[in-house]
Structure 1
Amino acid sequence: MVNYCVYQDRCHAEVEQKMREFLLIDEAKEEIILYLLKENFLNEERFTRSYIRGKFYIKHWGKTKIRMHLKQKQISEKLMNMCFDEIHEDDYLKTITRIYEDYFSKQKGLQEYQKKSKTIKYLMSRGFEYEKINDIFD
């Protein structure tokens, strides 16, 4: 389990899922998790921060999509809110603008309102908030 956690930051849910594959007794699972926490191989805040950075700066996901995926990994709302300072507001707006311009310019043979509508849907599917998208249009 140490190698599993060293390779990449993991959350509790991922570690517990991996241990289920090993069919360990409950006491062994608890001992392993305590050891990983004590030796700082398992750190929920570090995982959340690196997950947010990676999904935004590499995959260019919006906050909504990142938040949804973190909820699936059973990360608390409080921890999520605390860690979203990893995304700088200027970078966030620049990313929305860049994706908007790229996607909007690729729309051919459509009316202006259709291009705008498709672009808004695309940006929302990438996890960006409607209010932020509207700010780009203004």
Structure 2
Amino acid sequence: MDRLILQKAASYCAYQERTQDEVRKRLQKWEVWGDEADEIIAELISMNYLSEERFAKTYAGGKFRMKNWGKMKIKQELHRRGLSEYSIKEGMKEIPDESYSAGLKELLAKKKEALGRIETDKFKLKQKLARFALGKGYESELVWKTIENLEQEDFNS
């Protein structure tokens, strides 16, 4: 195994969390294939430079906090990146249920305020809010429940 390539791969992984797939693609760019690539990946895992579970946790928590993504969109992305069901499940634990519901409520309240100035038809407003939240990857049932709750709050205030 080429120590220089291992060192380059280790610094590639140390810069930010990576998936095995990302590392494999980078190794291919460096013209490292097959068994040698597998050896390097195994070595990176044993040296704790590479952990798909850690990647999933960082990714899920970050996308939820920074981009307000819903669980469905995050899971879909983690699947697309080739992570195991176990890693995905562990990653999703980074999103507490209370924060998730509160995040959706805040997201919809801001969007409602922005759209409320333009859209006067209540039905169309609800549709636009729902489409927005579903596009962010939130679950349909939770989205509609939150929209109804926001409407009740407006009605009561």
TM category, shorter: over 0.9
Q: Distance in 1 between matches of 2:124 and 2:72?
A: 24
5+ residue gaps in structure 2? 1-8, 150-157
> 1:86–1:109: structure 2 CA closer, same or farther, 3 Å change rule?
closer
Number of aligned residues? 138
Q: Distance in 2 between matches of 1:85 and 1:64?
A: 13
5+ residue gaps in structure 1? none
Equivalent residue, structure 2, for 1:91: 99
Equivalent residue, structure 2, for 1:112: 122
**Which has the bigger relative contact order, CA under 8 A and spacing at least 6?**
1
Q: Tell me the CA shift for residue 29 of structure 1.
A: 0.8
The SS at the match of 2:67 is coil
Cα RMSD, aligned residues only: 1.2
Indicate yes or no: 2:145 matched with 1:135.
Answer: yes
Larger radius of gyration: 2
Equivalent residue, structure 1, for 2:16: 8
Map 1:49-88; keep pairs closer than 5 Å.
49-88=57-96
TM-score by length of 2: 0.83
Give the partner amino acid of 2:133: L
Give 4+ residue runs of structure 1 displaced > 3 Å after superposition: none
- Among 41, 45, 48, the residue aligned to 1:37: 45
